[in-house]
Amino acid sequence: MADLLLEFKDVNTFYGDMHALKNVNYTIERGEIVCLLGGNACGKSTTMKTIMGVVRPASGSVTFDGQVISNLATSERVRRGIAPVLEARRLFPRMTVYENLELGAYTQPRGPQFEQDLERVYALFPRVKERRDQLAGTLSGGEQQMVAIGRALMARPRLICMDEPSMGLSPLFVEQVFDIIQEINRQGTTIFMVEQNANMALSIAHRAYVLQTGEVVLSGTAAEMRENEMIKQAYLGEMQVEAA
């Protein structure tokens, strides 16, 4: 498996007193979009925190690009090419859009490369360029999500971890955001995405995992998932069936 980018091997994570991840295994290959489905409080956010090193696994290992990263600091992980798009966007509200993007590139050397990355983000999101001197807290939800994705791109990531990119966005924006996620993926960035909007996520993902109370209960290709009865039942998929 030369193409393996991120791997969880028998990871157990405790969050407070809670056994949040139980013997979890994920593999994500270079160039994939993988999505993680599950209800609230099932361990999705803990997965993200474990990848970023905000919580450390009690046992098991996390490997990125062939190297074990379970014991690295968050900053080192970002430097090695993992960037997050956080749940509810979490921009720095009292800093300008430009400063937010700058902070996205915190681990990168300042130089011509920075300007290049900035141009790439502006090209992807012309709106972000228009708003660059505005305080991030004053943007609309959709604009904030664009800045959040742009901010992640500024770190020159090989893997972007997205925590509910559709949250709180209007349907129109959700579609735009998912288009952009696909575009970023086409440009060569691997995407690992937690998403509630199962249908939307499965429409662009290559593969998916389903978490339930901290355990992976199902995994497979997106196409398989869309046909899976359990998914239909649990994640509103059944609506579609019944509606038909």
Query: Virtual CA dihedral for 76, 77, 81, 85, nearest 10 degrees?
Result: -120
CA atoms within 13 A on the CB side of 105: 19
- Least Å distance between CB 216 and another protein? 13
Sign of CA dihedral 13, 181, 134, 99: positive
- Least Å distance between CB 189 and another protein? 17
Of 5 and 82, CB closest to another protein: 82
Of 27 and 235, CB closest to another protein: 235
Of 70 and 107, CB closest to another protein: 107
189 in Cβ contact with 157 (< 8 Å): yes
β-pairing, 190-194 vs 82-85, is unpaired
Q: What whole-number distance in Å separates Cα of residue 234 and Cα of residue 237?
A: 7
Q: How far is CA 26 from CA 51, 153, 169, in A?
A: 11, 23, 28
- Least Å distance between CB 27 and another protein? 23
- Least Å distance between CB 2 and another protein? 27
Contacts with another protein by CB under 8 A lie at 16-18, 39-42, 52, 54, 73-75, 77-79, 84, 86, 88, 90-95, 99, 102-104, 106-107, 110, 137-138, 141, 151, 155, 164, 166-168, 170-171, 174-175, 178, 196-197, 199-200, 202-203, 212-213, 233-234, 236, 238-240, 242-244
